[in-house]
Amino acid sequence: MSKYFLRRTLILIPVLFGISAILFTILVMAPGDPFEELATNPNVPPEVRMNLRAKFGLDDPLPVRYARWVASMVRGDWGFSFVSRVNVDTLILQRLPTTLIVLGSAQLLAILVAVPIGTYSALRPYSIFDQIATTLAFIGFSLPTFFTGLLFILLLSIHLDWLPFIYRSDISATGWRWYWEHVRQAIMPVAVLGLAQAASMTRFMRAAVLDVIRLDYVNTARAKGLSEGVTLVKHVVRNALIPVVTLVAIQIPTIFGGAIVTEQIFRVPGIGSLLITSILTRDYSIIQFVALVLAVLVILVNLLTDLAYAALDPRVSFRA
């Protein structure tokens, strides 16, 4: 087991280097530059822009820039944003809590919706409830979040005027009012993200429960005289959740991707909107860092899933 773990971890190093090299080259070769706005402003003499480019090392040859970047990343120095001249880690840490709260609540909502609905659908397959749930699930995962987001804004903010559509990280109210305001503004982004997640998760849950419910030990449990509720919770749902949990884990990076768009629509000041503005202004250090973190996240989640499988099922070879 430890050997397998070591081998898998060592493979990560070249993979990371490969990813970082590709990321870096593509970004740097993409047209545009961080001082574009200065270029179109006749008040700013061109020398200033040239000076800034030289100062921030943008005029050096590509391999030199790559080496410098990798070296500073290894040292733990993530660089600074060319646009705000603030360190990347400060910017990221400022926005991490918001993203975690929104994504976490969305994920929680998805689970709370998907598990009961998926289970109930599986218990009564092809009933009216199942038909409706299936239809809604299909609608849910075929509509992109940017579209449902706009629909929500149109309905809840503009027509009904119930919820604000601009997310503010600084709310001056105190006490209960503060919580209430936060909940109110988070409802729409969380609902948009969470329901999209719930749609696919419901389908997985339904399939998993259908698989499990036919198995012998469920019949045994019933034959033992256990109540339907206990059978369901302890034997069916518990076992059905195993593949669903794996799926949820693997989907985490995808959720991050979806969150980028949603954050932009609702002006949620999270990592996603930071990434978008950075891309628009060609703020290399931030884009590289966020993209790299996402890549690492995918790899790590994959590694963890593999390791978890290996631990759960020894037949997945340690030796191979």
Partner 1 sequence: MEERELRALVDRVKAGTLSRRRFVRMMVGLGLTAPMAAQMLASAGVVEAQAKWTFNPTKRGGGGLVKTLWWQAPTLLNPHFANGTKDQDACRIFYEPLASYDPDGNVIPVLAAETPSLQNGGVAKDGMSVTWKLKKNVVWHDGKPFTADDVVFNWEYVMDPATAAVTIGPYRDVVRIDKLDSHTVKIVFKSPAPFWAAPFCGAATGVIIPKHLFQAYKGDKSREAPNNLKPVGTGPYKFVDFKPGDIVRGEINPNYHVPNRPFFDQVEMKGGGDAVGAARAVIQTGEYDFAWNLQVEDEILKRLEQGGKGHADIVPGGNIEHIQVNTTDPWTEVDGERASAKTKHPILSDPAVRQALNLLVDRGSIQEEIYGRTGIATANFLNAPSRFVSKNTKWEFNVEKANQILEAAGCKRGSDGVRAKDGKKLKFLYQTSINPLRQKTQQIVKQACAKAGIELELKSVTANVFFASDPANPDTYSHFYADLQMYTTTMTQPDPQRFMDQFTSWEVSGKDNKFALTNKTRWRNEEYDRLWKAAESEMDPVKRAALFVKMNDLVIQNVVVIPVVLRPGVSGVSNRMRDVVQSGWDSNFWALAYWSKT
Closer of 28 and 250 to partner 1 (Cβ): 28
Residue span 213-252 as binding mask against partner 1, x where in contact by CB under 8 A, dash where not: ----------------------------------------
- Residue 49 in the binding site for partner 1 (CB under 8 A): yes
- Residue 43 in the binding site for partner 1 (CB under 8 A): yes
Residue span 157-196 as binding mask against partner 1, x where in contact by CB under 8 A, dash where not: xx--x--xxx-xxx-x------------------------
Among the candidate windows 105-113, 130-138, 240-248, 263-271, which touches partner 1 by CB under 8 A? 263-271
- Residue 28 in the binding site for partner 1 (CB under 8 A): no
Shortest Cβ 294–partner 1 spacing (Å): 18
Shortest Cβ 293–partner 1 spacing (Å): 17
Closer of 114 and 193 to partner 1 (Cβ): 193
- Residue 51 in the binding site for partner 1 (CB under 8 A): yes
Shortest Cβ 211–partner 1 spacing (Å): 44
Shortest Cβ 295–partner 1 spacing (Å): 22
CB 197 within 8 A of CB 107: yes
Which 3-state string (H, E, C) describes the chain? CHHHHHHHHHHHHHHHHHHHHHHHHHHHHCCCCCCHHHHCCCCCCHHHHHHHHHHCCCCCCHHHHHHHHHHHHHCCCCCECCCCCCEHHHHHHHHHHHHHHHHHHHHHHHHHHHHHHHHHHHHCCCCHHHHHHHHHHHHHHHCCHHHHHHHHHHHHHHHCCCCCCCCCCCCCCCHHHHHHHHHHHHHHHHHHHHHHHHHHHHHHHHHHHHHHHCCHHHHHHHHCCCCHHHHHHHHHHHHHHHHHHHHHHHHHHHHHHHHHHHHHHHCCCCHHHHHHHHHHHCCHHHHHHHHHHHHHHHHHHHHHHHHHHHHHCCCCCCCC
Q: Which of residues 92-151 bind partner 1 (CB under 8 A)?
A: 94-95
- Residue 84 in the binding site for partner 1 (CB under 8 A): yes
- How remote is the C-alpha of 309 from its chain's centroid? 22
Question: Rounded to whole angstroms, how far apart are CA atoms 301 and 144?
Answer: 24
- Residue 77 in the binding site for partner 1 (CB under 8 A): no
Closer of 47 and 216 to partner 1 (Cβ): 47
Shortest Cβ 216–partner 1 spacing (Å): 56
Report the interface residues with partner 1, using CB under 8 A: 31-33, 35-46, 48-52, 55, 80-81, 83-86, 91, 94-95, 157-158, 161, 164-166, 168-170, 172, 264-265, 267, 269, 273-274, 277, 280-282
